[in-house]
Structure 1
Amino acid sequence: MKYLLVLADGMADYPIFELSNQTPLEYAKTPNIDILAQYACIGLVKTIPEGYTPGSDVANLSVMGYDPAIYYTGRSPLEAISMGVTLKEKDLALRCNLVTLSENEEYHDKIMLDYSAGEISSKEASELIYTLQQKLGEEKISFYAGVSYRHLMLWQEAADYKLKLTPPHDISDKKIGPYLPEGDKAEKILELMQKSQDILKEHPVNKKRRQKGLKEANSIWLWGEGRKPSLTSFYQKYGLKGSVVAAVDLVKGLGIAAGLHPVEVKGATGSIETNFRGKAEAAIKELKNGQDFVYLHIEAPDEASHQGSLEKKIWAIEQIDKEVIGLVRSVLDYFDDIRIMIMPDHPTPLSLKTHTSAPVPFMIYDKNNPCYESPGIYNEKYAQEGLFFDSGHKLMDFFILGK
């Protein structure tokens, strides 16, 4: 049996007035998903346990079959693993976003204009992070360049610090004052964020972006702190050899931590516009070449929601249907036995521009075992008529083991 999980990050949403009170998933043209849904098991799953922040780290951990209450140690350590950064037991990893803040106010009165600095390119970003390392790096503090706006700060021997840090995508268009760092050594984190402004303002990369009318990466924003993780391997849990196809370091790092083989795809960006078809081709190739399981992650719907773009979110969902699910359908005859699951990790409602903890719709299509007792239509509304899993990590057991 082959297993393919297509994770459409942040795809679930609320009904929207402009769409005649349909969600983007209901409204989008998804003929390939529609065909599979007629014979699929459909339902809802709660991927965010009570008491946890609805982040992609917790959600994807659940979806991959790991109970966050046992395995969750924070977001950034997973990204560090993907980036090849070695964490020691006492180290603290933090996500370091390049962001765009308003310019003229005192720091606490500034507004979070863009959590992604206009989806800055990885090349530009690496130059900025290199300079920050030269200017702000210390004996126990180091900065590492990642992809686009997503980077890493490693703080040695700081694992015991208790901090309260806020994701920048949760405060789009808001004053940052109420969301500045709190807790142990919060003043040090705030100092680094404030000092970054002076360094970045006159950097050649930002001068060029200013001339082109692009958003400047004029500050860092530190959040997503965590410690070194330790996961039971996916093979130990399920007896399956697997791969992860993902452009974002968080999901790639989670896959690596679980013992999955990471697959690089040219043109995969972790943004709205990405190489949808290339990612699908890579997943299929992994299955054809002997892997039993592939975790295929697509960030596009989530990024569109964070930007508040209804048009882009619908487009992203339709691209997933056409370029990913359409290609998968075209090769179904190649596999004697294949089971496919399609789902988001969490909702990212356009009206909020951030994640929620609400249950998400899933569908499981089994080529040789069609399901005739489910709603037959895949979206948030009809999923309420199907199965319900109140613990997200149990869905993987059902997907693979059937129980």
Structure 2
Amino acid sequence: MRRKFLFLVADGMGGWPGELGKATAMEAASTPVMDQMAREGLSGLARTIPPGMPPGSDVANMALLGFDPARHHTGRGPIEAAAQGLQLADDDLVWRCNVVSVSSYAPGGLMLDYSSGHISTEQSRPLVEGLNRDCSSCSGPGARFRLLPGVQYRHLLVQPGAASSPEARLAIRPPHDITGQPIDQDLEALAAIPHLRALCQEAAERLAAPGNTTKANAIWPWGQGRALKLPGFEAGTGLRGAVISAVDLIKGLGRAAGMEVLDVEGATGLLDTNYEGKVRAAVDFLQHGDFAFVHLEGPDECGHGGDAPGKAEAIARFDARVVAPLRQAFPEGLFLITCDHLTPIAKRTHVEDPVPFLLYGPGMSGNGAAAFSEAEAAATGLSIDPGHTLLEFALAKGGLR
């Protein structure tokens, strides 16, 4: 039987010293299983963010799956459209569209919460459906936009035929990058596209109407681009693969690459996610498949929230409730464990620093790491750059090439 490949990703797990005392959250977290695997396997750093590209999960996870973002990345919105199986024309422009909380949707306003208090899908879906129905630029003949509901705070805005329009080049900052900061810069950018600015203004006015009991009081389009097209994962690797995540962008990458996308009930993308359900989905798939990409969002969400103890707890749960049972279930498996990018508590957003990784499997020997952490991985001297070659490196070292 072919060796099973388990690629385990704790989103935003890495950070900077000083998150808890002098330590990073990775160093402070209880991770006995990953520490042992790091001692017995290979540890190093991988540069998942190509020079000049934004340090987003879309770019980084595309690289982890072996695709060069500089060649294939078209935007965050198109990846999430792929997750929904949305059929786009080649000249459509698709945006990621958050429902957010701002102090005021006007000059001088601040970005209070990129997730509207981690609004639930049950709360956000009727809001977005209502905006699509009622806003003057949406739905009906001649509509400029379509607002499509997604998961929690993550939704889509589609502009038919606009892929070559001026708004395709519009620079709106990701809302999770500007928590607590003024939104004037983004409103000024939107003003260059009057019909898009008008849509956002009308949406803010409608969300302010009585009856909306959520924290969502504005929409935030960003990460726009043309439809995503990726080469087949199985054709490139020889492995039948699946992705397991609560996050649409991971599902979109998997679906665009022809992988199976496994939904897990109770997978929230937060600290309370259904860890056991994700493990069970991976185990079940690997009875007939070869490669499972298991993604946990919790550390990243805690990083954005400035919650250092929560981030350490998310990493400890990843070790105890994902890594440990999967290692027990597949003692002969090949394990690649990493994060997509760092989300330092001090920044509360992503940075482009290289990420620590460990590669573990039968027949491997350690390369000097005493534990799994940013500093220990760096000290080995092993560096994978560009990061989209990490998967090929792991396949070769693991005997799957």
- Give the structure-1-normalised TM-score: 0.93
Partner-residue secondary structure (3-state), 1:109: coil
Task: Read off the aligned partner of 2:117 and give its amino acid letter.
Answer: G
Q: Percent identity?
A: 39
1:254/1:296 CA distance change after superposition, 3 Å:
same
User: In 2, distance between residues paired with 1:383 and 1:198?
Assistant: 50
- Letter of the structure 2 residue corresponding to residue 109 of structure 1: G
Aligned partner of 1:282 in structure 2 is 281
Equivalent residue in structure 2 for 1:393, among 388, 392, 395: 388
Alignment map for 1:345-360 (pairs within 5 Å): 345-360=340-355
Residue of structure 2 equivalent to 1:378: 372
The superposition leaves residues 3-33 of structure 1 with CA deviations (integer Å, 9 ceiling, x where unpaired) of 011111011100016x331100000011121
SS of the aligned residue for 1:254 comes to: helix
Alpha-carbon shift at residue 400 of structure 1 (Å): 1.3
CA distances 1:85-141 after superposition (whole Å, capped 9, x unpaired) = 1111000110110101114xx602111110000000101100100111011214231
Residue 267 in 1 paired to residue 266 in 2? Answer: yes
Rounded to whole Å, the distance in 2 between the matches of 1:332 and 1:239 is 20
Cα deviation code 1:192-235 (max 9, x no counterpart): 2221111111252x23x4xxxxxx10111110101112111111
Provide the rounded CA distance (Å) in 2 between the counterparts of 1:293 and 1:277.
Answer: 18
State yes or no: 1:361 paired with 2:356: yes
Pairwise CA RMSD of aligned residues?
1.6
Q: Could you tell me how far 1:60 is from its partner in structure 2? A: 0.5
Does structure 2 retain, via aligned residues, the 8 Å contact 1:41–1:364? Answer: yes
Once the two structures are superposed, the pairs formed by residues 219-238 of structure 1 within 5 Å of their partners are 219-238=218-237
Letter in 2 for 1:353: R
Q: Which runs of 4+ in 1 moved over 4 A?
A: none
Q: Counterparts of 1:313 and 1:193 in 2: how far apart (Å)?
A: 33
Correspondent of 1:186 among 175, 186, 193: 193
Q: What CA distance in whole angstroms lies between the structure 2 residues aligned with 1:107 and 1:228?
A: 31
Q: Secondary structure at the match of 1:301?
A: helix
1:306 counterpart residue number: 304
User: Residues 358 and 372 of structure 2 are in contact (CA less than 8 Å); yes or no, is this contact kept in structure 1?
Assistant: yes
- 8 Å contact from structure 2 (residues 11, 340) kept in 1: yes
Kept in 2, the 8 Å contact 1:111–1:176? The answer is yes
Report the CA distance between 1:183 and its aligned residue.
7.4
Mapping of residues 40-55 of structure 1, within 5 Å: 40-55=41-56
| Residue in structure 2 matched with residue 146 of structure 1 by the alignment | 150
TM-score between both structures, scaled by the size of structure 2: 0.93
CA distance in 2, matches of 1:283, 1:376: 28
Which residue of 1 is the match for residue 239 of structure 2? 240
Could you tell me which residue of structure 1 aligns to residue 5 of structure 2? 3
- Contact between 2:39 and 2:367, CA under 8 Å: does it hold in 1? no
| Structure 2: unaligned runs, 5 residues or longer | none
Moved more, 259-268 or 181-190: 181-190
Instruction: Indicate the SS of the match to 2:35.
Output: helix
In structure 2, the partner of 1:83 is 84
Mapped partners of 2:368, 2:334: distance in 1: 16
What is the SS of the residue equivalent to 1:38?
Answer: helix
**Shift in CA distance, 112/183, structure 1 to aligned 2, threshold 3 Å:** closer
- In the alignment, what sits opposite 1:102? 103
Q: Is the 8 A contact 2:106 2:187 kept in 1?
A: no
SS of structure 1 residue aligned to 2:267: coil
CA–CA distance in 2 between the matches of 1:132 and 1:12?
A: 38
Tell me the residue number matched to 1:212. Answer: none
Q: Displacement, 1:35?
A: 2.1
* Corresponding residue SS for 1:284: helix
1:59 aligns to what? 60
Displacement of 1:326 after TM fit?
Answer: 1.6
Aligned length: 387
Which runs of 5 or more structure 1 residues have no equivalent in the other structure? 210-215
Report the alpha carbon displacement of residue 69 of structure 1 after superposing the two structures with TM. Answer: 1.6
Deviation at 1:358, TM superposition (A): 0.5
Shift in alpha-carbon separation, 1:185–1:76, aligned structure 2, 3 A: same
Deviation at 1:270, TM superposition (A): 2.0
CA distance in 2, matches of 1:330, 1:393: 28
